[in-house]
Chain A
Amino acid sequence: MSDPCLAESIETTEIDYMELDRIIEEDFNNDKENLIMMLQEIQRRYNHLPTPALAYLSTSIGVPLSQIYGVATFYSTFSLEPRGRNIVSICLGTACHVRGGERIREKLEESLNIEDGETTEDQRFTLESVRCIGCCSLGPVVKINEDTHGRIAYTEVDKILEKYE
């Protein structure tokens, strides 16, 4: 989310406007109160929030693009930049923290050769730290896409990453 000037950011994603319409109108009734959930659906579809989709959304529901940008940058789950094929979420909740979550993050950063919030060059992984996914009894926890891996040891990190193409 580094580029504050949406209009100028380079956007290559192909947008399916028919589908966008379906999301806006059928799933969420064209109701601006559903903005956050619309954005979530768009992100689910495109893996990030493509600028043209946001511009289209803005005219469809009558919310200024600036306001949509405000929402998209306020909430931590949204990304304006393309993310990797696999989202690696390292839990840094308190329970994971006291059980060595920080060390697992360092190991992930080292193995993937990226920092928290970045995407690998081959677009294979994006590393994100999250604050508590509620699996505190299994800390430290790493979630990759929809799979939760509990009680992770430093030495297991590489083996787990290998499973994701």
Chain B
Amino acid sequence: MMKIESAKDLEVISEDYSKKLYYPEAVKVNVGIASCGIAAGAQASLETAAKEFPGNNGVSINQTGCIGFCELEPLVEIFEKGKPRLLYKNITEDKILDMIQDYRESNFNKKWILGQMQDPRSFLEDDIQNPMAGVTPLEEIPILEDVSFFDKQVKIALRNCGYIDPDSIEEYIARRGYQAFIRALKDMEPKEIIQAVKDSGLRGRGGGGFPTGIKWETCAKHNGERYIICNADEGDPGAYMDRSILEGDPHSVLEGLLIAARAIGSSQGFFYVRNEYPLAVKRLVTAVKSAKRYGLLGENIAGSDFSFDVKISTGAGAFVCGESTALMASLEGKVGRPRAKYIHTVEKGFRENPSNLNNVETYANVPAILLKGADNYAKMGTTHSKGTKVFSLVGKVKNTGLVEVPMGISLKEIVFDIGGGIPKKKKFKAVQTGGPSGGCIPEQFLGLGVDFDELIKVGSMMGSGGMIVMDQDTCMVDVARYFVDFLKEESCGQCNPCREGITAMLDILTDICKGNGKEGDIELLEELGMMIQKFSLCGLGTSAPNPVLTTILYFRDEYDAHIKDKKCPSGVCKPLFHYEIDDEACNGCTLCAKRCPEEAITGEKKKPHHLDLEKCIKCGICYDACKFDAILIQ
């Protein structure tokens, strides 16, 4: 096996594999195999196709990472030299063979195709010729880059997700992979690397938003055996970009770690991956093995005096382990309790040594910064938040998926232009960012440019990039209760304000949701919130009241409705509402009666139906099923 010693060696591999990536002689089928794709049936699609086309008989079946438009999974891309590159949607196992035939016979069934790709090059490849130049686009098939879900996106951290086989280091290299690292190793002094990261304005993508270059610089100043750690313990519910990057492009993260190690002067790195992400671990293990094979990890990398190895550890289901000191305790095999950070981890962290910890997405950005230049990166974004950010756009939104957009883009553009707005013609209520540490942002701030500082100004935060859209059917008191319940379970319990404070908040919120709310509850929640924010030991506690405080600030009317009127206007808190059938709107289609699991709905065809409240369990099936808005929340 060839060991990579120079940029030239990378070029040799790159030349060979970019042909396979961009100009395949056989029809190339790329099935998006990430956790969400698999859940939608992508693995079965891949297997069906691989069975039909074993070996290389004109069609090659490949896996790739998450293509991003999760709503339409399984997504399958298909192309061959000289023909258009098409992305087919909802390709389950029963459809995949027909889909391949559709492409080979050039029928191009519009109903199945999401769009045609005009330019598959990555952010790092703007100096090579566009492989699609000279291919005439199809009429009547939308250009993928113009589809509203994609047109505002700029893919840097996600530059290879959905384009390459994540298990192939060669394909990563073909898209300029490891060139930034070789440059950092051979042509740059550690100080220059740190300066470049500082100049880029890159801030930590895990939630804190601390300037990455400054963190690296401080860590490098402290003596001792330094460690480089990658925080892949993506605990925020509703965020899954780190999983997707690790599953779709693990080498980009590994290369980021290598560059950090070279800049800071470290010979040992760690990945701390969530136990809930087995596929990410598997892809990472393969990536580490192949990097070792090419001599990109291990002793005397690329013939230099730089040596670096990594270990992959898994967590065991503790949200608090996303906090740096808790994560490091967990890496040591201990209970993951945070400690007060009067001494920072860059000075004394893992094994009491200087430790640099960054998040997956942060590392994935680093190679792009070195290769395309810090200025180039800093051109994107706002004054204090540079570059792009990946968001997972989920909840009550039409186009759910992973989106990478320049910092500063408005919430409205994300939710309505990219996300396509709210399904079923319902009304937008709020968007929740920052996970359990964040807040709920109401409609009046939809014009807000999303960056680290603006989100904090409205009481929320960036967090790791979860963006959960909520509509008129989401009860904001219930959402606050949900997050506090989450945090109560996940509080490590060692400091009083967090452990007892959160429990007290949960008791009050649960009472309110049950209809036992009292005058003064809101004020008490606010007081408790202030106390927890001020006196908790770690970030989990200090940010825990955010979901409660922001919902009180922006949706106080809902709290009042629960407490004073004993009503849940959104129809979520079961003791506080009931369903009713609107006689005028009901046309007697019988759908609700058929679906009702308790047989609580009766009525003749084409005549208004009747709901028996005694039997009704408020499961909401009729409400969701009714196409005529005849089921009312009272």
Residues 479-520 of B at the A interface (beta carbon under 8 Å) = 479, 482-483, 486, 489-490, 492
* Complex Cα gap A35–B336 (Å): 12
CA distance A31 to B333 in the complex (A): 9
Cα A99 to Cα B39 in complex, Å, equals: 17
Docked-complex contact B39 and A40, CB < 8 angstroms: no
Task: Tell me the bound Cα distance from A133 to B468 in angstroms.
Answer: 15
- Identify the closest chain A residue to B66 (Cβ): A137
In the complex, whether B619 has a CB less than 8 A from a CB of chain A is yes
**Residue pair B333, A34 in contact (C-beta under 8 Å):** yes
- A148 and B318 in contact, given A94-B237, A137-B394 (Cβ under 8 angstroms): no
The residue that B275 contacts in the complex, of A77, A92, A137, with Cβ under 8 A, is A77
List which A17-57 residues lie within 8 A (CB) of chain B. 31-37, 39-40
**A36 CA / B39 CA spacing, docked (Å):** 28
* Selected interface stretch from B308-316, B367-375, B534-542: B308-316
Cα distance A137–B482 when bound, in Å? 19
Q: Chain B residues near A154 (CB, 8 Å)?
A: 597, 619, 621
Contact B277 A134 (CB under 8 A): yes
Instruction: Pick the interface stretch among B99-107, B115-123, B137-145, B395-403.
Output: B395-403
- Contact for B316 among A33, A40, A93, A150, CB less than 8 A: A40
Interface window among A6-14, A68-76, A80-88, A119-127: A68-76
- The smallest beta-carbon distance between A74 and chain B, in angstroms, is 4
Q: Per-position contact with A for B595-623: 1 when CB-CB < 8 Å, else 0?
A: 10100000000000000000000011100
Q: Which residues of A contact B62 (CB under 8 A)?
A: none
Binary contact readout B35-75 vs A (1 if CB under 8 angstroms, 0 otherwise): 11011100000000000000000000000000000110100
Complex contact A132–B238 (CB within 8 A): yes
B180 interfacial by beta-carbon distance below 8 Å: no
Q: How far is the CA of A37 from the CA of B314 in the complex (A)?
A: 7
- The residue in chain B whose Cβ has the minimal distance to the Cβ of A151 is B40
Does B275 lie within 8 Å of A135, measured CB to CB? no
Contacts of B490 in A (CB 8 A): 131
Residue of A nearest to B392 (CB): A136
- Per the bound structure, the CA–CA distance linking A112 and B474 in Å amounts to 28
Query: Contacting A75 at CB < 8 Å: which of B236, B315, B435?
Result: B315
CA distance A55 to B235 in the complex (A): 31
Contact partner, B466, options A77, A94, A135, Cβ 8 Å: A94
Q: Are A138 and B238 touching (Cβ within 8 A)?
A: no
B317 contacts across to A, CB distance below 8 A: 75-77, 130
In contact, B314 and A36 (Cβ under 8 angstroms): yes
The answer to whether A71 and B334 touch across the interface, beta carbons within 8 angstroms, is yes
Chain B residues with CB under 8 Å of A70's CB are: 335
Kindly provide the distance from the CB of B253 to the nearest chain A CB, expressed in whole angstroms. Answer: 16
Known: A35-B333, A70-B335, A76-B317. A148 touches B38 (CB 8 A): yes
Nearest chain-A residue to B351 (Cβ)?
Answer: A33
Given contacts A95-B394, A99-B396, contact A37 B240 (CB under 8 A): no
Closest-by-CB residue of B relative to A130 is: B276
- The answer, among A31, A33, A67, A148, for a CB contact under 8 Å with B35, is A148
Decide if B234 is an interface residue (CB 8 Å cutoff): yes
> Among A78, A94, A99, A155, which residue has its beta carbon within 8 angstroms of that of B595?
A155
Given contacts A32-B333, A94-B466, contact A100 B314 (CB under 8 A): no
**B395 and A94 contact, CB distance less than 8 A:** yes
Query: Could you say which residues of chain A place their CB within 8 Å of the CB of B40?
Result: 138, 150
The answer on a CB contact under 8 Å between B318 and A76 is yes
Question: Is the CB–CB distance between B39 and A93 below 8 Å?
Answer: no
Cβ-based interface call for B330 (8 A): yes
Interfacial chain A residues near B35, Cβ < 8 Å:
133-135, 148
Report 20 cross-chain contacts, Cβ distance below 8 Å, ordered by A residue: A31-B333, A35-B334, A40-B314, A74-B335, A75-B315, A75-B318, A76-B318, A94-B482, A97-B482, A98-B395, A98-B470, A134-B277, A136-B237, A136-B240, A137-B73, A137-B392, A148-B38, A148-B39, A150-B40, A155-B621
- Known pairs A93-B238, A94-B435, A131-B490. 17 more at Cβ < 8 A? A33-B331, A35-B333, A74-B336, A93-B237, A94-B432, A94-B479, A95-B238, A98-B396, A98-B468, A131-B489, A134-B35, A134-B239, A134-B276, A135-B35, A136-B238, A136-B468, A137-B36
Top 6 closest pairs, chain A to chain B, by CB: A137-B70, A93-B237, A75-B316, A134-B240, A35-B333, A132-B237
Partner-B contacts on A (CB < 8 A):
31-37, 39-40, 63, 67, 70-71, 74-78, 92-95, 97-100, 103, 106-107, 130-139, 141, 146, 148-150, 154-155
